[in-house]
Chains A and B, each alone.
Chain A
Amino acid sequence: MNLTKYLKNRLDPLYGETEHPETKRKILLMTHVVVGYPSLEANWKMLEAMGEADVDLVELQMPFSEPSADGPLFVKANQEALRNGIRWKDYFDLMQRTSSKFDFPVLMMGYFNTTFAMGYENYCANIRKNGGEGFIIPDLPLEEYGDLWLHSQNQKLDSIMLCTPTNTEERLRKICARGSGFIYCVARKGVTGKNTDLGQSAENFLQQCRQYTDLPLALGFGLSEPDDLRKLHGKADIAIVGSALLKTWEAEGENGYRKHLMSLAAARE
């Protein structure tokens, strides 16, 4: 699949370059699952809800013992998933089931030690074999990619790069030049799971990134409510909601989760 083209086609022609003018989405939605937390069964229920909501993109996080870019909720989720005995096989089994069953494209998200331990070639082959379209590695700056570029290209995977508001212009240009699929714009400083003020500074940052790339721009870190998505109409192409949904699952269970997810999905239009 050409991920970039897929994403652009799902956006309202006023906002994107769609070939399907019936589409009314002013922003797309990417959601997140920490594989194995609270359980693989719960993950499946989340994914089914995502399928029903026609979520545009899903990242499956491979748990890691040292998730240093994550906030408290995902740290706990990583830890508990490992305590639940999640191994590579469990992870890729879920990826396989997900990509076979649902229409949305799936990305692998995980820390670099997993990639390193698996070997670059195996890592990319495993993602491809199990139906993934690309990967996000939050602790891997572009200078450290090495042969991972080559192997991801061989498997036609997109390596999703992160841009942050603390980057210099020169750095943003470099990151955008290496990115493929879409660009993951980190809305603010800090780790995942805290609220973000989606004011002028986020808008300026998105505009800045827009100068350096034609790829769709995804905004993540701290988005939680339908209003957050509406505020981003016409500014970002994809809204990423991770911790907020997991928090709802923990507080209100499956029904609350579905309700929250549906309200986010509806806020795309």
Chain B
Amino acid sequence: MPTQSITPDASGYFGEYGGKFIPEILYTTFDELIAAFYKAKADPEFWQSYVDVMQNYSCRPTPITPLENFAKSLGGKFQIFCKREDLNHTGAHKANNCMGQGLLVQRMGKKRVIAETGAGQHGVATATMAARMGLECTVYMGSVDVERQRPNVFWMEQLGATVISVTEGAATLKDAINAAMRDWAESMETTHYVLGTTCGPHPFPEMVAWFQSIIGQESREQMLKKNGRLPDRIYACVGGGSNASGIFLPFLDDKAVELIGVEAGGRGLESGEHAARFYGGTVGVAQGYKTYFFQDDEGQMLHTHSIAAGLDYIGVSPILSHLHDQKRIRFTAATDDAVISATKQLIRTEGIIPALESGHAFAAVIEEAPSIPDGTQVLINLSGRGDKDIFNIAEAIGDKKWQEFLKAKAMSQ
């Protein structure tokens, strides 16, 4: 069973970030959730049941794949490895958190789950968990994301979930979170809110990071076994921060390991159209927690932009904000264009199709390659697979044959 090297104080704060800013109507529900979570966390059998489920249902431990061709294509004398979270059931690290919370829901005896989703990966993972565990499921998704991620909407519905398209605000992930919170404020007796990332009110950041830390624990053991030493650097993309927290946190005490979080640089940091909270953000309180938000000087949230729906979010994990301030994690950003190009490069050199979210981590490695010292071992978290992005990637690449195919399909309906 893992011990978390970073835990919040009794009020749910990591340094000055986190907390629990919730409407009073949900106070008791949060108390119950906190109690259930800490009981599970202290119970080695619970963690073992989680590991068992992930082994039998979701291909854990996921492998570490050396990327020799990709490294060679960058011209450096360093080694690159990637952690294959794309091989999880449903295609992303999101399954870890969902199955973990699903087990907790069973313990709490609730019959219904709700979730927000951006890219749709968390929605699909929640719907999958609900189908497997026999729970009723409603997923809130911004209408803009519904447009971008129709295949995921299709699968959620096939899995028996009700998908509600949220048209309020910017109609993206943040608005889906608000909508899920509103549902929960009414349904809490029968319903658990499966928050998809290391954000939101306490205990969600700690809880989601705990389930996701399985990524880093496995990686640590696997890298030691494979190479006899720890990696020098680890890169992970950062939206809400769950895949990054998952791979980073078990390495926190390994001071020699540099941790690099890659935010969505969108159309460029100077364009203002991005989602790099550590570049354009300031500290605020929204969606139940205190962290860096993309907001104006009067605390109104601003529109974010990223080619990757899963990174297109105003806030960031309070755990990562704390580690940012402590300078334990270095943050950088990758633009949409750099991500498309990195994605193509990984597909061609290694036969691996990354999600556009994960493509950000690869883009950062490509950008930093000229300054990576010889002999360095780099580990990248490949947080999800890119099949779901076929429409966006094909559009960005401008593939003519695909466009003709879509036209023909549409005509034949």
Report whether B178 and A66 are in contact in the complex, using a CB–CB cutoff of 8 Å. Answer: yes
Residues of chain B within 8 A (CB-CB) of A111 are 286
How many contacts between A and B, using CB within 8 angstroms? 108
- Residue A43 at the B interface, CB < 8 A? no
Q: Whole-angstrom distance between the alpha carbons of A111 and B286 in the complex?
A: 9
Q: Does B27 interact with chain A (Cβ within 8 Å)?
A: yes
> Is the pair A87, B288 in contact by a Cβ cutoff of 8 Å?
no
CB distance from A72 to the nearest CB of B (A): 8
Pick the most buried of A112, A162, A166: most chain B CB atoms within 10 A of its CB. A166
Given A68-B182, A117-B298, are A166 and B21 neighbors across the interface (CB < 8 Å)?
no
Write out, one digit per residue, whether chain B residues 5-25 have a CB within 8 A of any chain A CB (1) or not (0): 000000100000001111111
Contacts of A68 in B (CB 8 A): 23, 177-178, 181-182, 287-288
Identify B300's interface contact among A65, A112, A118, A171, CB under 8 A. A65
Interface residues on B, range: 35 or more
For residue B284, which residues in chain A have a CB less than 8 angstroms away from its CB?
113, 116-117
Contact status A117-B297, CB under 8 Å? yes
CA gap between A105 and B323 in the complex, in Å:
45
Q: A269 to chain B: closest CB distance in Å?
A: 31
What size tier do the contact residues of chain A reach?
A: 35 or more
**Which A residue sits closest to B297, measured CB to CB?**
A117
**25 cross-chain CB contacts under 8 A:** A64-B300, A66-B174, A71-B182, A75-B169, A76-B168, A87-B298, A111-B286, A113-B284, A113-B299, A117-B295, A139-B288, A140-B21, A141-B27, A144-B21, A162-B23, A164-B27, A166-B28, A167-B27, A167-B28, A186-B24, A186-B25, A189-B25, A190-B25, A190-B185, A191-B182
Question: In A102-119, which residues have CB < 8 Å from any B CB?
Answer: 111-114, 116-118
Contacts of B285 in A (CB 8 A): 112-113, 116, 139
* Inter-chain contacts of B299 with A (CB < 8 A): 64, 113-114, 116-118
How far does the alpha carbon of A87 sit from the alpha carbon of B284 in the complex, in Å? 17
Q: Mark A139-158, 1 if CB is under 8 A from B, else 0.
A: 11101100000000000000
Assuming A68-B177, A68-B182, A76-B168, what are 10 further A-B pairs, CB within 8 angstroms? A87-B298, A113-B293, A118-B298, A139-B22, A140-B21, A162-B24, A167-B24, A186-B25, A190-B185, A191-B185
Whether the pair A88, B28 counts as a contact (CB closer than 8 A) is: no
Does B392 interact with chain A (Cβ within 8 Å)?
no
Q: Which of A121-141 contact B (CB under 8 A)?
A: 138-141
Contact surface of A with B, Cβ cutoff 8 Å: 64-69, 71-72, 75-76, 79, 82, 87-88, 111-114, 116-118, 138-141, 143-144, 162-168, 171, 175, 186, 189-191
A165 CB contacts on chain B under 8 angstroms: 25
Q: Is the pair B23, A139 in contact by a Cβ cutoff of 8 Å? A: yes
Contact partner, B185, options A66, A141, A189, Cβ 8 Å: A189
Residues of A within 8 A of B21 (CB): 112, 139-141, 144
List chain B residues, Cβ under 8 A from A141.
Answer: 20-22, 24, 27
**B287 near A66 (CB under 8 angstroms)?**
yes
With A71-B182, A114-B299, A189-B186 already in contact, the answer to whether A144 and B287 are too (CB < 8 A) is: no
Which residues of B have CB within 8 Å of A87?
A: 298
Q: Is B188 an interface residue (CB 8 A)?
A: yes
Given contacts A69-B23, A143-B11, whether A166 and B188 have CB atoms under 8 Å apart is yes
Q: Is B168's CB under 8 angstroms from A75's CB?
A: yes
How long is the Cα–Cα vector from A79 to B171 in the complex, in angstroms? Answer: 12
Contact of B19 among A72, A79, A144, A167 (CB under 8 A): A144
User: How far, in whole Å, are A68 and B28 apart by their CA atoms in the complex?
Assistant: 18
Q: What 1/0 mask marks residues of chain B from 211 to 253 whose CB sits below 8 Å from any chain A CB?
A: 0000000000000000000000000000000000000000000
- Residues of A contacting B11 in the complex (Cβ-Cβ under 8 angstroms): 143
Given the interface pairs A139-B288, A141-B21, the reply to whether A114 lies near B168 with Cβ below 8 Å is: no
Q: Does B79 contact A (CB under 8 A)?
A: no
Q: Is B29 an interface residue (CB 8 A)?
A: yes
Q: Give chain B nearest CB distance to A122 CB in angstroms.
A: 12
A82 and B27 within 8 A (CB): no
